[in-house]
Structure formats: structure tokens, C-alpha cells
Amino acid sequence: MTDARGRRTPSWLVVLLVLVAAVSSACGSTAKTGTLADQPTPIPNADLSGSGPGSLISASSMPVFSRSPEGRLVDAARVVYRSTNGDTGQQTVVSGSVFTPKGDAPAGGWPVISFGHGTTGLDEPCGPSLSDTLMGFSTIVDGYTSKGYAVALADYQGLGSPGVHPYTDSKTAALNMIDAVRALRHTFARVSNRWAAVGGSQGGGAAWAADEQAVTYAPELELVGAVAYVPAADVTGLVDKAVAGTMTDDQSLAFQAIVESLARLHPDVVRDDYRRGAAVTYWDVLSACSGPKAASRATAAAAVGSRDFAPATPAAAERLRTLLRAWALPQQPLTAPMSVTYAGRDQFIDAQWTTDAIARACALGGNVVWELQPDKGHGDVDVASRFGWIADRFAGKPAVNQCPPRGGG
């Protein structure tokens, strides 16, 4: 989920869905064209022999990124690897990028951060690994690698590689994040099996879900903890706000993306049941992250309003509720401690939705610490203290648990 361009200053948590020139440039900026020096080459010694989740189909260099100030400090690869669809359990092919610091690894190998990015769009060109700047997430990679972590950055299913992107399906994104850790370990040597899941917005939900899925999906990896910033854990409440016409401008744009994604996945989700007025006119523009249509995104974002997306019938509204409930978190108990930071003035995700999801995670026996920052918004929550929290988890220090003891009290 993202802030509309011009409405507030973007941060790394701000999703790129309604950005115009920046997204169009990033999606179109790849190493597939240019000089011979810009062409990717296979990563030596990458293990392509596997066939299960996280196994590599390809691992190639990122020449343009590697010449950037951040890229010169790391070994980098764009990877295409096998993963799993969270709804069907079927094997999928996804893409992403992986990084290790240059120099000598610590004993046991580089500890790993699997980073879940915020919304970048719905289509194949919208994968960060296709961008020479990782769609702006290169600063996040640099922040973690400079502290001695290897980083796995999944594009998510349908972004960066063919397929339908199941937007806000945190479980599928989580499995992509977990398999990105496996792909990283198959690409570069000296990488630990100890890892943490970190993400914001859409990626916050993915990091949360990765904490739930890790123990059964990847028992050979040791998850030490998860950090979720303004997580899209449960957005089912958007449907009620769409019916009432009370969505914020930002929620309206997120709602459009959700409907478009679900319509691609489910033939019985009819787009015309959720659009009228300016939403009809600008629907395809709002769905684009690159190409000529993306140039009109600012105009489209300014033209549409909440009531342009109101479900046509109670049945249409309930169909969306049913699908979003199936994706909502939590879905099962946490594997490892989790830290959640969220915002009282979030224009995308109502704070109460996150509060309720945390309560359900606690009821399942989770170890959770959380901070609601009442005067912050979706893109400006303060997460600096979470670096120390992550370091403590890798150091094996006990995690504070704010959940009440099970059974009450």
C-alpha cells in the first residue's frame, strides 16, 4: 500500500503503487539493454541442481546495480527460484534479488534478513529485481548489509516473473520470502541458516506470515524473529468502508488494486461490481506501474473518490469479505518472537485492524511486542529501535512478550 504522490513525503515504507515517474522509470530500468558491460552473467558456483522450494532456476549478476554506491559494497544476484502458492500449494516460479557483504563472513556465515517490500504494483514489470535501484529499496539493502547481514529481497509471485500477483495474500508472499532465503544460500557461500523476517506495509503482512509459516515450511532454517512495520495483516475492514463510502483517498487506491488482483484470480469477481464514475474511466491507469498509462496515474488518483468503488450489491461486498478473510492474519501460531510497529494516523490501514490482529496472535500463544505510534502515519513511523531488537534476537537474548498469559490475567 502506498501514499499518493504529493500527499505526504515518501519513506521506505511508502509503497510505489500511485507514484508516476518514479515507478515507470524503475520498472523500465533493467540490465537487459545497454552496453555489453551492462549484461548479466551467471553467478559462479550457484547451485542449480535442486527442484524443491527455494531451488534456483537461475542466478545472474546485476552489473548496473553493482556499479552503484550501494552495489559496490556487496555481492549481488538476481535470482529466479521455485516457491509455493499459499492458496493452492502448487509450485510456482518467482524472482528476487540476494546480497551478501563483501569481506570475511563471521563464524557460521552471514546472518540473513529476508526483507518484505511494500506495494510496487500488480504486473510483472513491477518486481524490484528488474530495477537498477531495486525501486528505491537499495537503501534498505545497504542499511542491513552494512551491519553485517546478508539480504534476500523477494519480488513476490507475479512481480518480476510471469503469473498473477495475489495482492495482500500475506501467506504467498511469506513463502516467497522464506524461499528467497533458500535461494540466497544456493547462490552465495558463507550464508547462515539463521534469519529474520522484516517488512513494511504489504511486506509487513508478509513478514508476519513468514513468522507463522517458517516452522513447518522451512524447518532447516532457524527463524530468530520477525519485524512488521504498519503491516497489512487484515484489510477485510476495507469492504465495510467501501460500502459506507468512508474509505480515505489512499484506501480507495488500495481497494482498487485489491479488486483488480482478485478479479484476475477469481472469474466470479466482476470488476464492474466495484467501479463507477471516474473509477471506470481510470481503472486501467490505476492498475499500471509502467508504460504510457502510468503517466496519467496522478490525474487518475486525484479524480477518483471512495464512492466510485462502492460494491454494487451486498453479495458483491460479501464475496470480497470472504476472500479477504481467507488471507487475513493470523492464520496459525507464530514460530518466533515478533515486533509490530503501527500508526494511529495511518491512511491505509486502520490502527484498530492491527490491534485486533495482534490480539488474535496473542490468543494463539504468540510472543509479540508492539508499539502504536498515535501521531504517525503509514510512511513515517519510527522504526530505528527495531535494528537493536533484531540484533538481540540473533544474539539469543530473551524477547519481551507483551501478550497476556494464556487463559487471561
The proportion of the chain whose per-residue pLDDT surpasses 70, expressed as a percent, equals 91
According to the model, what pLDDT value does residue 38 have? 86
211 & 314 share domain: no
Is residue 13 assigned to a domain? no
According to the model, what pLDDT value does residue 332 have? 97
C-alpha cell at 199: 517488512
According to the model, what pLDDT value does residue 28 have? 37
258 & 208 share domain: no
| pLDDT average, residue stretch 316-332 | 98
Is residue 11 assigned to a domain? no
With a cut of 70, say whether residue 29 has pLDDT above it: no
pLDDT tier, 408 (very low <50, low <70, confident <90, very high otherwise): low
175 & 188 share domain: yes
124 & 243 share domain: no
154 & 204 share domain: yes
With a cut of 80, say whether residue 19 has pLDDT above it: no
| pLDDT average, residue stretch 306-332 | 97
With a cut of 50, say whether residue 79 has pLDDT above it: yes
Q: What is the three-class DSSP state of 312? A: coil
Residue 365, domain CATH: 3.40.50.1820
- The boundaries of the domain holding residue 46 are 21-233+337-394
In 3D space, the residue among 314, 114, 264, 117 whose CA is nearest the CA of residue 194 turns out to be 114
Angle subtended by helix axes 237-244 and 249-265, to nearest 10: 120
According to the model, what pLDDT value does residue 289 have? 86
106 & 218 share domain: yes
Choosing from 296, 325, 354, the residue where a domain stops is: 325
Is residue 368 assigned to a domain? yes
In 3D space, the residue among 110, 189, 185, 107 whose CA is nearest the CA of residue 145 turns out to be 110
> Using CA atoms, how far apart are residues 28 and 37, in angstroms rounded to an integer?
18
Which residue would you say has higher pLDDT here, 291 or 163? 163
The string of pLDDT tens digits covering residues 130-176 is 999 999 999 999 999 999 999 999 999 999 999 999 999 999 999 99
Choosing from 277, 292, 325, the residue where a domain stops is: 325
- The one-letter code for the residue type at 274 is Y
Is residue 272 assigned to a domain? yes
122 & 27 share domain: yes
137 & 245 share domain: no
With a cut of 80, say whether residue 219 has pLDDT above it: yes
pLDDT tier, 26 (very low <50, low <70, confident <90, very high otherwise): very low
100 & 36 share domain: yes
According to the model, what pLDDT value does residue 294 have? 86
pLDDT tier, 406 (very low <50, low <70, confident <90, very high otherwise): confident
| pLDDT average, residue stretch 299-307 | 94
Choosing from 325, 353, 379, the residue where a domain stops is: 325
Cβ-proximal residues to 208 (8 Å cutoff; 6+ apart), any chain: 170, 174, 197, 226, 228, 231, 233, 329, 330, 338, 340, 361
- Number of domains within the chain: 2
pTM: 0.92
Beta bridge partners of 198: 115, 227
129 & 90 share domain: yes
53 & 128 share domain: yes
pLDDT tier, 31 (very low <50, low <70, confident <90, very high otherwise): very low
Inter-CA distances, 352 with 110, 331, 346, 356, Å: 37, 18, 10, 6
| pLDDT average, residue stretch 117-126 | 96
94 & 176 share domain: yes
Of the candidate ranges 51-55, 249-253, 296-300, 341-345, the one whose mean pLDDT is the lowest: 296-300
Is residue 91 assigned to a domain? yes
> Using CA atoms, how far apart are residues 165 and 269, in angstroms rounded to an integer?
15
The proportion of the chain whose per-residue pLDDT surpasses 90, expressed as a percent, equals 87
| pLDDT average, residue stretch 370-375 | 98
Is residue 405 assigned to a domain? no
According to the model, what pLDDT value does residue 11 have? 34
Q: Do 341 and 371 touch, CB atoms closer than 8 A?
A: yes
Q: What is the three-class DSSP state of 389? A: helix
Q: Would you call the peptide bond into 337 cis, given omega within 30 degrees of 0 as the criterion?
A: no
Is residue 9 assigned to a domain? no
According to the model, what pLDDT value does residue 301 have? 94
